[in-house]
Structure 1
Amino acid sequence: MTGQNAIELQRMLEEIQGQASERTHSRFDHTDARRIGSAAAALAERDHLPIVVAVSRGMQRVFHAAFAGTTAEHDDWVRRKINTTMRHEIPSLEFVLRHQLSGHAPDWLDQREFAVAGGAVPIIVAGITVGAVAISGLVGSIREDHDVAMKAIRSARSQP
């Protein structure tokens, strides 16, 4: 990794970590989960995004939507991204960036159950990870799926 690349990754990591307050909610019930999922689905429809959206509350999948251009493989990616986020209680992109910066691949992680890829964002209530929103399907950069998830969280928060 070049010095410039490391600087860019460190900046991105700091930006992702700086979004913690946006991932923190006063509550998170089924209605909130569906609101976030619906916001992500609206973004997908508006921008013609080939994505799968999944929102979990604890271990329960509360919302799921798949759009044209996706396959069952994307369903598996969101499942594994959510597993990574719920296990480590950080966005899956933060997990990726930490490992890229350390120079150590998380080879101890079972790739059948966990994904080392951005796109899953934890939902935090009172300091506890209570759920996650995950996006899979965008391949332009390591953060595109993450950014859609964060847009959905912000959009849902602005709804009455």
Structure 2
Amino acid sequence: MTPELREQEERLQFDRFDHDDAWGLGTLLVGLARERGHGVTVDIRLGDHQLFHYALPGTSADNDDWIERKIRVVRRFGHSSYLVGQTYRDRGTTFEEKSHLDAALYAAHGGCFPIILRGTGPVGTVTVSGLPQLDDHRLVVEALELFLDARSSGDGAVS
């Protein structure tokens, strides 16, 4: 699974990312979650600036805590929170056991993906919390694929 996760980060990169992109990607994620009846919280940041945050019914402040912990992992390691956790699992251990980082502050659980600018690197994060970790990760990846496909087709709009 680790090669697939690395490939996602290579493929799902932006040429630019701004406030309007955060709005478009965020509303796309919220729309996908609503259609499927998922109670999730969605968060998008550019650096430390929170550009989008929405909590669907069925979520709580605990989801906000998970988001903060996942974001710290992505910022520290430069990779998706799921890839970081999977890297430890591939070694036969856990992030919590071997990273020596405070589990109250860091969570290498799926759902946070770096916003990567082509030629620059990670500049922000898009995060979902509320589903099992692989489902959180997959929802973010699906939204990024739809968003970037719409942009590359010149459509610019996503539904």
Q: Which of 77, 83, 96 is equivalent to 1:88?
A: 77
Which segments of 5 or more consecutive residues in structure 2 lack a partner in the other structure? none
Q: Structure 1 length normalisation: TM-score?
A: 0.86
Q: How many residues align?
A: 147
Q: Which of 19, 42, 47 is equivalent to 1:53?
A: 42
Instruction: Report the equivalent of 1:130.
Output: 123
CA contact (8 A) 1:23 1:121 kept: no
Q: CA deviation at 1:107?
A: 4.3
Note the 1:146-157 alignment, pairs <5 A: 146-157=137-148
CA distance in structure 2 between the partners assigned to 1:29 and 1:16 by the alignment: 25
Q: Which of 2, 5, 26 is equivalent to 1:13?
A: 2
Q: Structure 1 runs of 4+ off > 3 angstroms?
A: none
Instruction: Report the equivalent of 1:3.
Output: none
State the percentage of identical aligned residues: 31
Root mean square deviation, CA, Å: 1.4
Instruction: Report the equivalent of 1:121.
Output: 113
TM-aligned CA distance change 1:22 to 1:35, over 3 Å: farther
CA distance in structure 2 between the partners assigned to 1:62 and 1:73 by the alignment: 20
CA distance in structure 2 between the partners assigned to 1:32 and 1:106 by the alignment: 36
Q: Structure 2 length normalisation: TM-score?
A: 0.86
- Output the amino acid matched with 1:30: H
Q: CA deviation at 1:145?
A: 0.3
Which segments of 5 or more consecutive residues in structure 1 lack a partner in the other structure? 1-11
Q: Which of 66, 89, 98 is equivalent to 1:77?
A: 66
Q: Which of 98, 106, 127 is equivalent to 2:98?
A: 106
Q: What whole-Å deviation, never above 9, does each CA across 1:78-123 have from its counterpart, x for those lacking one?
A: 1111111111110100001001111233341122221121110001
